[in-house]
Amino acid sequence: MENVVRLADYRRRRAGRGARQAPHDSGAQYYCLRCDGDEFRLYASGVVHCVQCGALMRNLLVSGTRAEETPPQ
């Protein structure tokens, strides 16, 4: 199973939740060095590939927030 992650949309949704960020912090900008694409497939194993060219994205840490990691009680 795979998901296509559009980072601009993801950041917009996260910002709408009222998350505190530094006023001038635009966040990290990720793009593929092979094709300059900015859409990625995130697999359940944590592996990330570029949607356009399929290149493996290395050195990306994919983790959730504390609220996402804690099990519901």
Which sequence spans correspond to the domains of the chain? 2-17+27-69
Looking at residue 5, its pLDDT comes to 78
Residue 50 CB-density burial (10 A; 0-12 exposed, 13-18 middle, 19+ buried):
buried
Give the whole-angstrom CA distance, residue 68 versus residue 4: 19
pLDDT digits (tens, 9 = 90+) for 23-69: 555 567 788 889 988 899 988 888 899 999 999 988 776 666 655 55
Whether 19 shows a pLDDT value over 70: the answer reads no
pLDDT tops 70 at residue 20: no
